[in-house]
Structure formats: structure tokens, C-alpha cells
Amino acid sequence: MHATHLLIVGAALAAFGWFAASTGGPSVPGQPPLPVAQPLPEPPQPNGHFALVVEGDRDRLAITHANGKAAPWAGVPKGFTSAWRLTVLGAGGQILAEVPLDVSAFDVSADRKGGPVQVTGCIVRDPRIVMLVNAPRFAEAAVYTFDRMDGDGVRTEIGRVDGNRVRVLAGGGR
């Protein structure tokens, strides 16, 4: 084959590729053309963060106060993982953020639920949980859920707070 023939075949293939890409691909006579891929919508971006007061115990957590901060959320500390987490969900159920919770200062064992504070030397262990949680603030947040992974690998939901409730707690209204 001569170089001229190769050049003509290459140009024809390039033209066909351009045509197929611009029309959504080849179509079958009598069939609609294949759809052209649309760019994915941009994921919601946080607008600052919330300092949330979280209270409860091993089986129930709730947000009892919120304070909106303009500064961006610092994120999850590198390498930190936890069986406990706060998940921020959008109206369609999409996950906007997952925040692992550090409950290491609390006595969250099942047999200690509702029990008294235990003091051993200078170590205080309380089965009641009262903590601050920093979480990204999303205008699109519909629900804040709390859950924990139990030893048997089952994830248990232990709290659910409406996004509007969090905004009201923060003084932002609906």
C-alpha cells in the first residue's frame, strides 16, 4: 500500500470518528441515535462548617445545639477511623459527607449503658456521650444520621436529625 492510500484511509477514519462522537455514535436505521454522555453535575460544596453538640448514649445520639462557622471544615484527621460516624445526606439520599466520631473518651460498652460514671485514678469513663463534632455545612443537607458498626459487622443507625432542625439550632432558620 502506498503512503497516499494510508493517508486517505487515516483521514477517512478520523472523519468517521469525529462524526460518530459528535452525533452520539453510530445509529441503526430506524433507531434513535445513541445518547451523548452528559457531564456529571458538580457535587455540592460545603459553606463553612458546623460545631455540633452531640448528646446521647451508645444506642441514641442527637444533635442538641449547632453553631455555624464561616471557616472551612478541616476534614477528617489523617488516618483516623472509627466504627461510629455522622453522615450528612442530601435530599436525594446522596452522601454529602461522612465524619468518623471519636467516642474513645466514653464507656460505650453495652453492659455499661445507663450506668454510673466510673473513676479510676485520674481516668473518668462515662456511658453518657456529650461531645463536640465538627462537620461540613451544606445548604443541601437534608438529614444527619448517626450509626455505629457493631462487633458482628452490622451497621446500626442510632440517630437521625432533620437538616432544617440543624439549621434552626444554628440560628439560620429554614
Q: What is the pLDDT of residues 119-154, one digit of tens each?
A: 889 888 888 999 999 999 999 999 999 999 988 889
CATH of domain 49-169: 2.60.40
* pLDDT of 90 over the 60 cut: yes
Average pLDDT, the chain: 85
Does residue 85 surpass a pLDDT of 80? yes
> What ranges do the domains of the chain cover?
1-38, 49-169
> What pLDDT band is residue 91 in, cutting at 50, 70 and 90?
very high
Q: What is the predicted pLDDT for the residue at 127?
A: 86
3-state secondary structure the chain: CCHHHHHHHHHHHHHHHHHHHHCCCCCCCCCCCCCCCCCCCCCCCCCCEEEEEEEEECCEEEEEEEEEECCCCCCCCCCCCCCEEEEEEECCCCEEEEEECCCCCECCCHHHCCCCCEEECCEEEECCEEEEEEEECCCCEEEEEEEEECCCCCEEEEEEEEHHHHHHHCCCCC
* pTM beyond cutoff 0.95: no
pLDDT of residue 157: 96
